[in-house]
Amino acid sequence: MNEPVPVTWMENRRARNLEAQEVVKDLLPPGIARLARSFHRQIPGYNMSPLKGMPRLSAMLGVGGIWIKDESARLSLNSFKVLGGSFAIYQVIKDKLGIRDRELPFAELTSPGVKERLGRLVFAAATDGNHGRGVAWAATNLGFESVIYVHKHTSQPRIKSIEKNGGRVVVVDGTYDDAVRQASVDAEMNGWQVISDTSWEGYSDIPKWVMQGYASLFSEAQEQLSAQGLAKPTHVFVQAGVGALAAATIGFYYQLFGAERPRTVVVEPSKAACLYESALRGDGQPHHFDGELNTIMAGLACGDPSPLAWKLLWDCADFFAVCPDYVAAKGMRVYAVPLAGDPFIVSGESGAVTLGALLFTMQSEEGSALRERLQLGPDSQILLINTEGNTDPDDFRRVVWEGGDPVPAEFRTYKDPES
């Protein structure tokens, strides 16, 4: 049986031949990254997540540098998602209070007077785990309730983590996209406020605020790269589910550098490739991806793109790529067992797929065409985002300890001489 190739990709040639200033400005207006980071800095326990260089792996692959923005320890939540959820909740509260002409200090935000003015406020979200945990944590720490919707295949460790952070969990008999729809229906009926990272008709402000919250991550990364004497990465590989993080990534760098921005590769699971499918159709519209979305990359298992994110990606993303599960599994193992001198990184399935994609792009015959189109070489400084740590311990051990989802023999870098 023929196994799927490690990386299937397409180039979005319109991205470098199009002025996209308006769509970027709509999503990430000037100054928003500074405002988001100013808010996040006030959260008790906030620290910049580390930027980790991998010089030995860079030398092995023949590139100038590989830099990992490691979100596995973000506010002890194992994921970057809290940045978006917390900033969106903050903006919702400001909106409900009628405060649009000034920032709301964290001490005032959490004061009894604010809570009295707002009354009972319940936040709802649909999730594969990380977004819901972040929303639950933010709501709890601000003194509010949360109801988090998950699909039937969500693992028990992810559910328990949401509950541990104060969220009430509702399990939906369906996919992530079904959970999104059910959360919206129930919130409308109960008067709850939905905090979603995907948009739909009539619902775009909050997903936009979520994406703006992610800008803190890249503001930090730029500061950290500057300390290494680098003005910017030359390339960014970014993973995608509905596309919110990918759109925030590309929008941030477009806003800063315009035509000189890094080359970008948006990476999805081959079993949940809604953005790649939309790009392949080529009509500029977001399209549904059919299937059960049964990928180990639970945080990326989305069948419908966010229309808001898709609009920016269609205009600005340089490449769309899809990878089978074994690519993410290899990335997890390389992070966990690095070359001597490189840092050890704990990465979940969704966090590691971009490293896996980079490895196969640089080391496999099948990756040579993409490698050439990206102009990857000794001058390349590549930014990856480890979006999550060990969020599902059972599956983490299955992959890292027991070698689950192994690389098919025909795509292995080191082949058995007896085979």
Residues (pLDDT < 70) of the chain are 1, 415-419
360 lies in some domain: yes
Q: Are residues 400 and 323 in the same domain?
A: yes
34 lies in some domain: yes
418 lies in some domain: no
Catalytic residue among 69, 81, 208, 271: 81
Last residue of a domain, one of 176, 196, 216: 196
Last residue of a domain, one of 175, 196, 217: 196
Q: Are residues 383 and 358 in the same domain?
A: yes
Separation of alpha carbons 164 and 298, rounded Å: 20
Q: Are 377 and 63 contacting, i.e. CB atoms less than 8 angstroms apart?
A: yes
Separation of alpha carbons 131 and 125, rounded Å: 8
How many structural domains does the chain have? 2
- The residue type of 62 is G
Q: Are residues 106 and 184 in the same domain?
A: yes
Q: Are residues 396 and 266 in the same domain?
A: yes
Q: Are residues 180 and 287 in the same domain?
A: no
177 lies in some domain: yes
Q: Are residues 110 and 19 in the same domain?
A: no
Q: Are residues 119 and 260 in the same domain?
A: no
Catalytic residue among 52, 69, 70, 128: 128
Q: What is the pLDDT of residues 276-334, one digit of tens each?
A: 999 999 999 999 999 889 999 999 999 999 999 999 999 999 999 999 999 999 999 99
24 lies in some domain: yes
pLDDT given at position 415: 65
User: Which structural domain, as residue segments, surrounds residue 138?
Assistant: 82-196
Q: Are residues 221 and 328 in the same domain?
A: yes
Is 128 labeled as catalytic in the residue annotation?
yes
Q: Are residues 340 and 393 in the same domain?
A: yes
Q: For residue 235, what is the domain's CATH number?
A: 3.40.50.1100
CA distances to 47, 112, 114, 122, 374 from 119, in Å: 31, 10, 9, 10, 53
pLDDT given at position 19: 85
Q: Are residues 17 and 55 in the same domain?
A: yes
Beta bridge partners of 381: 65
Q: Are residues 253 and 333 in the same domain?
A: yes
Last residue of a domain, one of 148, 177, 196: 196
95 lies in some domain: yes
Q: Are residues 260 and 312 in the same domain?
A: yes
pLDDT given at position 417: 59
Beta bridge partners of 97: none
2 lies in some domain: no
Q: Which long-range contacts (CB under 8 A, 24 or more apart) does 363-367 make?
A: 363/61, 363/413, 364/6, 364/411, 364/413, 366/5, 366/6, 366/7, 366/411, 367/6, 367/7
Q: What is this structure's pTM?
A: 0.96
